[in-house]
Amino acid sequence: MNAAVTSEPPRYIDWYESPVGPLIASATDSALCSLSFCDAERLEERLQELRHQYGAPVRGGDSAVLSDLRVQLAEYFAGRRRDFELPLSAAGTPFQERVWAALCEIPHGETWSYLQLAVRIGDALATRAVGYANGANPIAIVIPCHRVINADGGEGGYGGGLWRKRILLDLERGQGCLAL
């Protein structure tokens, strides 16, 4: 039997219980590739989807990056970490990657509107496209898409559910710590 040959590095997949529900992460040996919310009843199904998504060997369990993520998430939810220090590998279009880089510039505890984010990337007319790119962010929390709101101050949407967005924003505004 011939094994499939791939140039892609192996991926590690793990899940973490968090105050905002289960989180599923994937990483290579050198970078975090995804972090997403998953309701408990879909956890096994989502793990299987990720295993099929990658054109590379997938391994369960820990890597150095996933181990660092676990520690940094615990610190974040305890209110002791404002910024994540992890190597990231978020694959998207050049436009999406510009939006995701700009998201990382939003200070902890603050929010920007979709318009502010569009202006930041140099295209004030791209608010709708910015919203789609924001929603396509593959690395929740670490790339802080939850910090984007409507221009009128409304919450806007959130792929992980508005209840999660409220919890994350309240945490960052110093309105409590969340134990793991």
Show which residues are catalytic.
Answer: 145
Q: Round to whole Å and give the CA distance between 56 and 4.
A: 9
Please state, as a whole number, how many other Cβ atoms lie within 10 Å of the Cβ of residue 99.
28
Kindly provide the residue ranges of all beta strands, DSSP E only, lying in the chain, ordered along the sequence: 11-16, 23-27, 32-37, 58-60, 112-113, 148-149
163 class by beta-carbon count within 10 Å (0-12 exposed, 13-18 middle, 19+ buried):
exposed
Bridge partners of residue 139, in order along the sequence: 35
DSSP 136: T
